[in-house]
Amino acid sequence: MMSMTAIAPEAWIAGGALFVVLLEALRPFVKDRVLAWAIPASTLVALGLAAMTASFWRGSSQGVFFDGTLVVDPLSRLLVVAVSVVALLVVIYSVGDLERHDLGHGEYYALLLTATLGILAIVTGADVLVLFLGIELLSLSLYAMVSIDRERAIAAEAAMKYFFLGAIASGILLYGLSLLYGLSGTLSLVTLPRMILGLGGGDHLLFFFATTFVIVALAFKFGAAPFHMWVPDVYEGSPTPITLLVATIPELGAIALFVRLLVVGLHPLMSQWAPLVLGVAILSLLIGNLAALAQSNFKRLLAYSAIAHVGFILLGIATGTIEGEIAAIYYTVIYVSMTLLAFGLLLALRARGRDVESLDDLAGLSQVHPWWSLLMLFAMFSLAGVPPFIGFWAKLAILRALLGNGEAWVAVLAVVMAVVGAFYYLRVVKIMYFDRIANEKSVPAPWGVPEIVLSVNGCALFVLGLMPDALWQLCAWAVHH
Amino acid sequence: MIPAWPWLSLLIGFPVAGGLVLLALGSRAPSFARSFALVTSIVAFALSVIVWIGFRDGTASMQFVERIGWIPLLHANYHLGIDGISLPFLVLTTFSTVLVVLAGWRVIEYKQAAYFAAFLLMEGFMNGVFAALDGLLFYFFWEAMLIPMFLIIGVWGGPRRIYASFKFFLYTFLGSVLMLVALIYLGVRTGSYDLLAFQRAPLGLGTQIWLFIAFLLAFAVKVPMWPVHTWLPDAHVEAPTGGSVILAAIMLKMGAYGFLRLSLPIAPDASRYFSGLMVALSLVAIVYIGFVALVQTDMKKLIAYSSIVHMGFVTLGFFALFFMAGASAIEAARMGIQGGIFQMISHGLVAAALFLCVGVLYDRLHSRDIATYGGVARSMPVFGALFVFFAMANVGLPGTSGFVGEFQVILATWVANPWWSLLAALNLVIGAGFTLWLIKRVVFGPIVNEPVAKLPDVTVRERLFLFLLVIPVLLFGLWPAPILDVMRASVAHLVHQALMSKIP
């Protein structure tokens, strides 16, 4: 019975996915209007219940369940809540847009729920195989979602690219994991460190190969350089609601993978993976920031900015310290909340007749939509890491971890790249505020729940920037226990 | 005695709240918006006057201290407090904001409420910088300030506003982030972000040198010192009048304030180590930039370069103290710093006044080119008199506030090295040259251009803000004691800190 409550969030999501598929199967018999309401509603209910059951967790059932395959600890509960809430927001922001572009069928919601389920498996997995299953469930759902708009040629291209490269990465990961299994004889992340230590701390060359393969695959899934090729294409090619999804929830899964697999599972091999992760991080910072300077498409710009932010996050992981781990998780949660806002705003603008593809489509936005452009300004300055917005504290956490570990030069490099990054965020602000346009008619759209949630999301970046402590404490609590 | 309210928090929070109200108001009630902005800025000024009245001279300890936990995880506190060095700047900030609101009253037409909101937000953040006693809080306000200024230059600026705003933001941002690394380093090392604890912490010379360089990059850009001054002329020229006033009066002072609050007390040995370089850079600014100012054809650019010259005096006064010798060394060291601070206050008033004067002309003919004007005194006699008065203050004529600081710095430098003193005194000639030549070409002489003859003289509103500046310029020129008394004890304490080695 204990173990059943442990997987309650996953159960809600899986049940929700099945229920949505069932509803979709009823389409010939039920009015479209009813389904258009019932499918998103049941998705929201499933996600909400998952978030609630996970957030009511009070430490009573901490431990490993199902023969050591699932772990329930503060970290997994924190990430389960975060993933469910983010997915909830993704649905709220996208539902109108999907409806208008006739993509709002059951497939989208079912795939969203299975993708979420995949991430929950990654987040709670205590076994290498469970992690791999989670990754595959997530990836397959995402491949399908990228190409959900069959008419869109650029989306098909992006999906192909994503699928082929993703499949190769999965193969590499599997190979690395099989090497690990062959060497240590265990699949459990709990016993893995002990087995490695028992083998003399992993001096074996094969361990080095195994960690390298694992890091390559993880870097691919996280979209870190030099395995970032798919990111800009997928961001640009997908319909905006899908980009919103691809840019947010998987990042939470990726950070969980890094923490569970590298920081915990392969802890004895830290001297092997830390330099590699550091290299990947620095490369991501350089490539992401420098390439973003040259972008004229807004979604591509955010894609390269995502690569740069992943670089920052991995700097925290590369320190190998508890503080770095906390900082990386803190940064990821904050980054996801900022990205949610940016893409959510794009969707809100689309509903008002502004389809933002190229950066110039934002011209004079402050004259037509003062509120939305103010929120976009919040998102941009927060992404740039300028106080008083929360993005500043995310960067500060990483810098503190670096300096606490004596890596002052890396910290200097990181802040210099942050200045480079500031340039392209400022460019967005410039286009919205400094470029003036002749009068433009906007399509009037009423305010509904998505608009209110979006505004709360935007103001939260400011309010949390004034009081950054609570979220930080939460991340620290999740890691320390 | 005044009641023990959180006055400093009010000084920060009140303008910020006012700015947020204006932002929320949008373009709905324009005439209400500007009255609201004016009332808010006047109340903020009144608050700072109350703080001045309640301030006790004769002690170097922090006053009006507020301290509550902010980020317990990092041991960072919401820690505010002022001493005799920060107090004058608080008052200057709130005073300048009132002027800026008056100056933008009729001139700004595009999104006026947002314009005033930006200035009020900035006022709150600037007060925060001067009142913060916690490293993270200091940085928080220091950086937050960039956002409204970036928008002010970019949205309401001149033709090359985009170039200028980006240059301003990125230049200062690059300097600041390295200061952030230094602050975090100190935080990790001392276990808290208390600036006073940073000042007490013993540090080896090597560490101090790195810290000093990081601080220097942030502060030298902000001051600005030669050779990282190039953003200032661009920013000044393109910013709207109000933006130039705040830039000149307050933002440039932040860099010098940083030297006093962070560089000198936290890294005194490194300050000594680099003092020769700092003096050299200051002298280059005074002499070379003075010549650069001489050849300008744009009025705003000329005043911008003149600002760099005057800030050169400030940094000269601060760093000459390491070269003092003899019986009067301590006395001279104090005089140098005191002169530097006085020069900052005076320059804040005078440069603000000059930019407002240029703004008055610009609003009439939409040209900042010196050649456009000539003979303005014939059509605008009152304005001509005021402009000449402020120009004299800029030259450092005895009887105006410009004289006191410059004279003290030159006197103090004499003790350190008579040759430097001589070079600095050269500015009395060059400065007089470029300022008086500007006056000669703009205010006096025959009217060359037809439109100048028809210029209406200053309106009541313009008279108001210009006369508001005449009062302190004259008052502190004739009677500098109020400012000198306020800072005497804090300056003495600072000199003590700067001359004491921290190497363990």
Give pLDDT tens digits for A383-393: 999 988 999 99
Cα Rg of chain A (Å, integer): 22
Chain A partners within 8 Å of B185 (Cβ): 403, 408
Residue A60 scores a pLDDT above 70: no
**What SS3 string covers B330-356?**
HHHHHHHHHHHHHHHHHHHHHHHHHHH
d(CA B141, CA A288): 28
pLDDT digits (tens, 9 = 90+) for A244-262: 999 999 999 999 999 888 8
d(CA B195, CA A172): 51
Chain A partners within 8 Å of B184 (Cβ): 396, 399-400, 403, 411
A405 touches chain B (CB under 8 A): no
Share of chain B above pLDDT 90, in %: 29
What three-state secondary structure class fits A167?
helix
List beta partners, residue A70.
Answer: A65, A125
Closest partner residue to B174 among A386, A392, A419, by Cβ? A419
What three-state secondary structure class fits A125?
strand
**Cα diameter, chain B:** 71
A329 touches chain B (CB under 8 A): no
Closest partner residue to B73 among A388, A418, A476, by Cβ? A476
Closest partner residue to B181 among A370, A412, A429, by Cβ? A412
What three-state secondary structure class fits A297?
strand
Structure tokens at B67: 């301290």
Q: What is the arithmetic mean of pLDDT over B8-27? A: 88
d(CA B239, CA B251): 13
Residue A104 scores a pLDDT above 80: no
> Closest Cα partner for A385 from B173, B253, B490?
B173
d(CA A432, CA A436): 8
Residue A5 scores a pLDDT above 80: no
**CA distances to A168, A309, B58 from A453, in Å:** 38, 24, 54
Mean per-residue pLDDT of chain A: 88
Closest partner residue to A426 among B70, B169, B177, by Cβ? B169
pLDDT digits (tens, 9 = 90+) for B284-311: 988 899 899 888 888 889 999 999 999 9
Q: What is the arithmetic mean of pLDDT over A370-397? A: 91
Q: Which amino acid is at A224?
A: A
Chain A partners within 8 Å of B150 (Cβ): 426, 429
Q: C-alpha angle with apex A384: B108 to B129, nearest 5 degrees?
A: 65
Contact B298, B370 (CB under 8 A): yes
Structure tokens at A272: 């092997």
Share of chain B above pLDDT 70, in %: 100
> Closest Cα partner for A171 from A216, A211, A229?
A216
Nearest chain A residue to B170, by CA: A419
Backbone angles phi, psi at A188, to 5 degrees: -85, 135
Bond from prior residue into B227 cis (ω within 30 degrees of 0): yes
Tokens 């480079």 — which residue? Answer: A420
Q: Strands A70-72, A63-65: parallel, antiparallel or unpaired by DSSP?
A: antiparallel
Q: Hey, are the CB atoms on A387 and B139 less than 8 Å from each other? A: yes
Contact B211, B182 (CB under 8 A): yes
What three-state secondary structure class fits B147?
helix
Contact B379, B452 (CB under 8 A): yes
Q: Hey, are the CB atoms on B169 and A434 less than 8 Å from each other? A: no
Chain B partners within 8 Å of A404 (Cβ): 188
pLDDT of residue B1: 63
pLDDT of residue B137: 92
Residue A1 scores a pLDDT above 60: no
> Closest Cα partner for B100 from B308, B359, B304?
B359
The chain B residues in contact with chain A (CB within 8 A) are 23, 26, 70-74, 136, 139-141, 143-144, 146-147, 150-151, 154-155, 161-162, 165-166, 169-170, 173-174, 177-178, 180-181, 184-185, 187-188, 210
d(CA A87, CA A339): 13
Q: Model confidence at A289, in pLDDT bands (50, 70, 90)?
A: very high
Residue A169 scores a pLDDT above 60: yes
A372 touches chain B (CB under 8 A): no
Residue A335 scores a pLDDT above 60: yes
Q: Hey, are the CB atoms on B154 and A434 less than 8 Å from each other? A: yes
Contact B360, B324 (CB under 8 A): no
Interhelix angle for B161-190 vs B135-144, to 10°? 170
DSSP A443: P
Q: What is the arithmetic mean of pLDDT over B195-210? A: 88
Element (H, E) at A63: strand A63-65
Which residue stretches of B381-456 are H helix? Answer: 381-395, 401-416, 418-442, 450-453
Nearest chain A residue to B186, by CA: A403
Higher per-residue confidence, A5 vs A92: A92
Provide the chain A residues 230-289 that lie in CB contact (below 8 A) with chain B: none
DSSP A268: G
Residue B320 scores a pLDDT above 90: no
Element (H, E) at B200: helix B195-200
How distant is the Cα of A182 from the closest Cα of chain B, in angstroms?
42
Structure tokens at A185: 């004889």
Q: Which of A186-200, A331-345, B7-21, B180-194 has the lowest average pLDDT? A: A186-200
Give the CA count within 13 Å in the CB-facing half-sphere of B302: 25
d(CA B253, CA B223): 6
Closest partner residue to A472 among B73, B144, B187, by Cβ? B73
d(CA A470, CA A338): 17
Q: What is the arithmetic mean of pLDDT over A112-119? A: 94
Q: Strands B76-82, B63-71: parallel, antiparallel or unpaired by DSSP?
A: antiparallel
Q: Is A379 exposed, middle or buried (0-12, 13-18, 19+ CB in 10 A)?
A: buried
d(CA A294, CA B6): 48
Contact A239, A149 (CB under 8 A): yes
pLDDT of residue A314: 93
pLDDT of residue A2: 60
Closest partner residue to B151 among A400, A433, A476, by Cβ? A433
Q: C-alpha angle with apex A434: A305 to B141, nearest 5 degrees?
A: 65
Which range of A115-124, A445-454, B421-430 scores highest in mean pLDDT? It is A115-124
d(CA B292, CA A26): 80
Using the CB atoms, write b or e for A59-79: b if 16+ within 10 Å.
eeeeebbeebbbbbbbbbbbb
Q: Is A180 exposed, middle or buried (0-12, 13-18, 19+ CB in 10 A)?
A: buried
Tally the residues of chain B. 504
d(CA B409, CA B286): 12
d(CA B233, CA B235): 6
pLDDT of residue A440: 65
Neighbour count for residue B4 (Cβ, 10 Å): 8
pLDDT digits (tens, 9 = 90+) for B331-381: 888 888 999 999 999 999 999 999 999 888 888 888 888 888 888 888 888
Contact A357, A251 (CB under 8 A): no
Q: What is the arithmetic mean of pLDDT over B445-459? A: 81
pLDDT of residue A244: 93
Residue A281 scores a pLDDT above 90: yes
Q: Model confidence at A417, in pLDDT bands (50, 70, 90)?
A: very high
Bond from prior residue into A388 cis (ω within 30 degrees of 0): yes
d(CA B76, CA B72): 6
Neighbour count for residue A37 (Cβ, 10 Å): 12
Structure tokens at A481: 């226990």
d(CA A471, CA B490): 39
pLDDT digits (tens, 9 = 90+) for B27-67: 777 788 888 989 999 999 999 999 998 888 888 888 888 88
Closest partner residue to B72 among A412, A429, A469, by Cβ? A469
CA-CA-CA-CA torsion sign (B412, B418, B420, B423): positive
pLDDT of residue A59: 66
Element (H, E) at A146: helix A128-146
d(CA A241, CA B29): 38
List beta partners, residue B80.
Answer: B66, B132
Chains A, B: CB contacts within 8 A come to 84
A364 touches chain B (CB under 8 A): no
pLDDT digits (tens, 9 = 90+) for A62-89: 777 777 788 888 888 899 999 999 999 9
Residue A480 scores a pLDDT above 90: no
pLDDT of residue A330: 93
**CA distances to A114, A127, A176, A278 from A217, in Å:** 21, 17, 9, 15
Q: What is the arithmetic mean of pLDDT over A442-447? A: 73
> Closest Cα partner for B465 from B5, B213, B105?
B105
Q: Which amino acid is at B157?
A: G
Structure tokens at A253: 């899964």
d(CA B216, CA B237): 25
Q: What is the arithmetic mean of pLDDT over A124-129? A: 88
Contact B62, B132 (CB under 8 A): no
Mean per-residue pLDDT of chain B: 88
Which residue stretches of A352-448 are H helix? Answer: 365-368, 370-384, 390-404, 408-433
Q: Hey, are the CB atoms on B23 and A374 less than 8 Å from each other? A: yes
Dump the DSSP string for B109-138. -TTHHHHHHHHHHHHHHHHHHHHB-BHHHH
Q: Hey, are the CB atoms on A411 and B181 less than 8 Å from each other? A: yes
Chain B partners within 8 Å of A396 (Cβ): 136, 180, 184
d(CA A280, CA A338): 23
